[in-house]
Homo-oligomer: A and B are copies of this chain.
Amino acid sequence: MQDFDSARRLYAERGFARRVGWGDRPAILVIDLTNGFTDPDSPVGGDLTDVIKETRRVLDLARSTSLPVMFTSIAYDDPDLEGGYWVKKIPALRVLKMGTDAVQIDPRLGRRVSEPVLFKRFTSAFFGTNLQSLLQSLRIDTLVVCGTSTSGCIRSTACDAVQMGFRCIVPETAVGDRAEAPHLANLFDINAKYADVAPIAEVLEELARFTPKKRA
């Protein structure tokens, strides 16, 4: 996109977008790849076939090295009560009813019973959940964030991750959005300010370095 070229140049001059790099204990966090978001016919959905394939590559490798994997799912008992002005802004979120198929993890990801699902009501995976607590007690220092949407929950999660002291890595093709322009604009911001947006080959190579670890 031509428009972002001057921003890219300015950020380069100012020294934005430095690499954060990997720590010693990564975990994989898969954001909102539930049926409600991966079904193109759902009011909040889109075709995320490629994102699911790429995320599955990350998951397969993480599982083979026993790295922690966790998922989020937006789900409401009473969307208007719990979702506040967010659901007022995006009424389509009301389809994400607790207990329905829409809030289940897409089966193509092969979620295992031991991989926790954190139910959230808003955009960041950290907001109103026990995610920070879980990561601290597992001593995670690096979050690999996959899923959807780049311009919504991926971005807000990456933003909170850096605020809370975590390194954050976003495999470029393992995150997606229902719309292309916001997807690209947010990848630009995320990489400039919060996380390392990296080619998936590089992420898989880094993950492969981790020998099996057991939870203490």
A residues with CB within 8 A of B: 1, 3-4, 6-7, 10-11, 14-18, 20, 23, 43-44, 77-78, 81-82, 84-86, 88-92, 114, 116, 121-124, 127-130, 132-139, 141, 151-152, 156, 159-160, 162-168, 178-182, 184-186, 188-189, 192-194, 215
Would you call A133 and B151 a contact (CB within 8 A)?
no
Would you call A163 and B123 a contact (CB within 8 A)?
yes
Q: For the complex, give the distance between the alpha carbons of A44 and B15 in Å.
A: 10
Q: For the complex, give the distance between the alpha carbons of A104 and B99 in Å.
A: 17
Q: For the complex, give the distance between the alpha carbons of A192 and B152 in Å.
A: 10
Residues of B within 8 A of A185 (CB): 181-182, 185-186, 188-189
Distance between A195 CB and nearest chain B CB, rounded to angstroms: 8
Would you call A162 and B85 a contact (CB within 8 A)?
yes
Distance between A2 CB and nearest chain B CB, rounded to angstroms: 9
